[in-house]
Structure 1
Amino acid sequence: MNLPLRPAPERRRALLGGLGALAALATGPAAFRALAESRGRRTATRAGLAFGTTVSLTLVAEREAAFEPAFRDAFAAIHAVEAAGSLYRSDSALSRLNRDGRLDAPDPLLLTMLHFALTLAERSGGAFDPTVQPLWTLWSESAAKGERPGPQARAEAVTRIGWHHVAADESAIRFTQARMGLTLNGLIQGFAADRVMAALAAHGIADAFVDTGEFAATGAHADGTPWRLGLGAHGDAPSDIIAPFAGFAATSGDDATVFSPDRRDHHIFDPATGLSPTALSRVTVTAPSGLLADGLSTAAFVMGEAAGAALVRLYEGCGARFTAKL
């Protein structure tokens, strides 16, 4: 069974700035709270569940009536991305592909993510590979038994990995090798941030902070204070802060889902070995799009600081912050 990646609470980074704590989780269609009024502008936050975690949107507008349609379409955008590529949903297009080995007339959102993933796989020399799902299945099932997969089991799983064994176009996506599996967990939350920001822009929302598991921001708080993003938060103390924060940011770290107490074994795999890279603890990439930030952070984590930084430099407007494992 293909199991989804389940981010642990430690992966959640903190939003810092003039608003203080975010509103409580909203549940109903009209359940948003105006948090502040400044210079005639209002701020509201709505949160919900997606990708196996909590997502939240903070919007600024001059009229309270502007919030509801913007929230509605932004969360609809998130749910559309889930329906296309989330492994948390057994009925998603990606889950059906993994079960059947072929998907006819694929969801255009799935194709967009997959085409980007395959291009990044090529540019990263295979360090980023969306076909690592067999490794996740192996490690999660072994962990459930209190075991660590041995060399033979890892080697067998690696034989079922290879981005070049995926054929994709508008008519179909198919695997050209048996017993393969795709995961887009290394980029889907960043892509969701892109779709949310597009939905908000369509409603004329020019000031927003978006947390889909990865982050996006535009404009500023209602009082004009820039957005700030805390990284690598442990408790209430982030280890790094991006201020001001605008654009997109994504972090890949060894503390999201772990298979060993020392975090040596975790959810990010080197497709060549079946093991987790051990040089880095965290990589944060800022980029002009969430898809790019998310994918590059995963690839750079696997490649290591020198090679990862070189990859990031290939993309205009991108930057990376590396934290070595202690």
Structure 2
Amino acid sequence: MSARPTRRRVLLGASGLAAAGIAGLRAQAGARGLTVRTRAGLALGTTVSLTAAGPDPDALDAALSEGMAALRTVEHAASLFRPDSALSRLNRDGHLDAPPAALTTMLAFALGLAERTGGAFDPTVQPLWPLWSQAAERGARPEPAALRDCLARVGWRRVRLSPEAITLEPGTAVTLNALVQGHAADAVMAALRARGIADAFVDTGEFGAAGAHPDGTPWRLGLADPRRRGEVAAVIAPFTGFAATSGDYNMAFSPDFSDHHIFDPATGHSPRGLASVTVTAPSGLLADGLSTACMVLGPERGGALVARHRGCALRVSVKA
């Protein structure tokens, strides 16, 4: 699981959005009597963008404003890129009273997924990030003794969660980087739906789509090749719902990608079998969590995990 950086996004986005450009999108929508509105910015350690189409420009503007506000709410709750986020304060102090709802939702999901996967998914791998990062800066790997000491502070049962407070055992720290972008996509799409927006595409680092592209065709999602930058390995068409990807290449500690930012909580090392995993699901939170869990579990056990969740599908890229 990612400790500090976000994962380099395997998903290239909705087919036609980047190629058409804003002017092209507006022309396509206008031919159907619709208006297109977009919003973009920096959040969650990456660039984010929201696109919506509909007949009422004012309604679109209001919906996108509420969508961005919903995204910021998730960011303020759980982004490790913000030292003032609730999660950053929890890691700093070991205790947090009155945690925000977005944080308790994600952490409750994370602990549940940890239990269901026998700890293959674990939100307490955060201490492994500085250990590996500092070793990589020296051109080395962590010393076995240092790794053992670090692993003694990892374990999802070291977290106590209630609606009133969250407490960590001494030395424990939490990352929700494997969930926060997917949950942000959920929050944005919920805000758009509440405003009656039927056609939308959101990119929060993970992806959500509803309805149709401004030209009236189904949304399409291109999946980048994890080893050949800029090349599309596959296309999901039509694409609706949510998709998330985990891969070994966003933050690699070794040139051959054998050591990277996703950690097996049992060993403190990176799983070796897969280069990337993409999961489509009815929610961004579920897609995001399952994609990381599958990187650790591997294709067979990961496939069995995904199969237990209705409406989910798995795509994997095996290491060469």
Pick the TM interval, shorter chain: over 0.9
Contact 1:35–1:44 (Cα < 8 Å) also in 2: no
- Distance in 1, Cα, partners of 2:54 & 2:34: 6
Give the C-alpha shift of residue 309 in structure 1. 0.7
Give every structure 1 segment of 4 or more consecutive aligned residues whose post-TM-superposition deviation is greater than 4 Å: none
Q: Which amino acid aligns with 2:222?
A: G
Unpaired segments ≥5 residues, structure 2: none
How far is the alpha carbon of 1:50 from its aligned partner? 0.7
Larger mean CA deviation between 225-234 and 46-55 belongs to 225-234
Distance in 2 of aligned mates of 1:245 and 1:314 = 21
Q: For 1:6 and 1:305, how far apart are their aligned partners in 2?
A: 22
What's the CA shift string for 1:137-196, capped at 9, x where partnerless?
A: 211222233332122211111111010111100111001x31110000011100000000
Which residue matches 1:4? 4
3-state DSSP class of the match of 1:152? helix
Distance in structure 1 (CA, Å) of the matches to 2:147 and 2:58: 55
TM-score normalised by L of structure 2: 0.93
Shift of 1:235: 4.2
Alpha-carbon distance in 1 for matches of 2:213, 2:21: 15
- Residue 20 of structure 1: CA displacement? 4.5
Partner in structure 1 of residue 11 of structure 2: 13
How far is the alpha carbon of 1:12 from its aligned partner? 4.8
Which whole-Å CA distance do the structure 2 matches of 1:95 and 1:147 have between them?
A: 28
In 2, Cα distance between the equivalents of 1:17 and 1:6? 23
Corresponding residue to 2:192 among 200, 216, 222: 200
Matches within 5 A, 1:41-52: 41-52=34-45
User: Does the aligned pair in 1 maintain the 2:83–2:89 contact within 8 Å?
Assistant: yes
CA distance in 1 between counterparts of 2:222 and 2:216 reads 19
1:168 is the counterpart of 2:161? yes
CA distance in 2, matches of 1:213, 1:245: 16
Give aligned pairs, total. 314
2:215 partner SS: coil
Partner of 1:28: none
Q: Relative CO higher for 1 or 2, CA cutoff 8 Å, sep ≥ 6?
A: 2
Match of 1:30 in 2: none
Match for residue 272 of structure 2 among 270, 273, 278:
278
Question: Aligned equivalents of 2:127 and 2:142: distance in 1?
Answer: 12
* Structure 1: distance between partners of 2:21 and 2:47: 13
Q: Partners of 2:201 and 2:66 in 1: how far apart?
A: 15
User: Is structure 2 residue 170 aligned with structure 1 residue 178?
Assistant: yes
For the 8 Å contact 1:208–1:218, the answer to whether it is kept is yes
Instruction: Point out where structure 1 has 5 or more consecutive residues left out of the alignment.
Output: 25-32
Shift of 1:88: 0.3
- What does residue range 246-257 of structure 1 map to in structure 2 within 5 Å? 246-257=240-251
Q: Identity across aligned pairs (percent)?
A: 57
Amino acid at match of 1:100: D
How big is the shift at 1:290? 0.3
CA contact (8 A) 2:7 2:246 kept: no
SS, match of residue 75 in structure 1: helix
2:291 is equivalent to residue 297 of structure 1: yes
C-alpha deviation, 1:34, in angstroms: 4.1
Match of 1:323 in 2: 317
Residue 59 of structure 1 aligns to a residue in which SS? strand
Contact preservation (8 Å) 1:35, 1:45: no
Counterpart residue type for residue 239 of structure 1: A
Q: Partners in 2 of 1:195 and 1:122 — Cα distance?
A: 25
Q: TM-score, normalised by structure 1?
A: 0.92
Task: Tell me whether 1:223 sits opposite 2:221 in the alignment.
Answer: no
Q: Distance in 2 between matches of 1:156 and 1:264?
A: 22
Tell me the equivalent position of 2:86: 93
What is the CA-CA distance between 1:263 and the residue it aligns to? 0.5
Equivalent in the alignment of 1:27: none
CA contact (8 A) 2:111 2:123 kept: yes
Indicate the larger mover: 138-147 or 211-220.
Answer: 138-147
The residue identity in structure 1 corresponding to 2:100 is: D
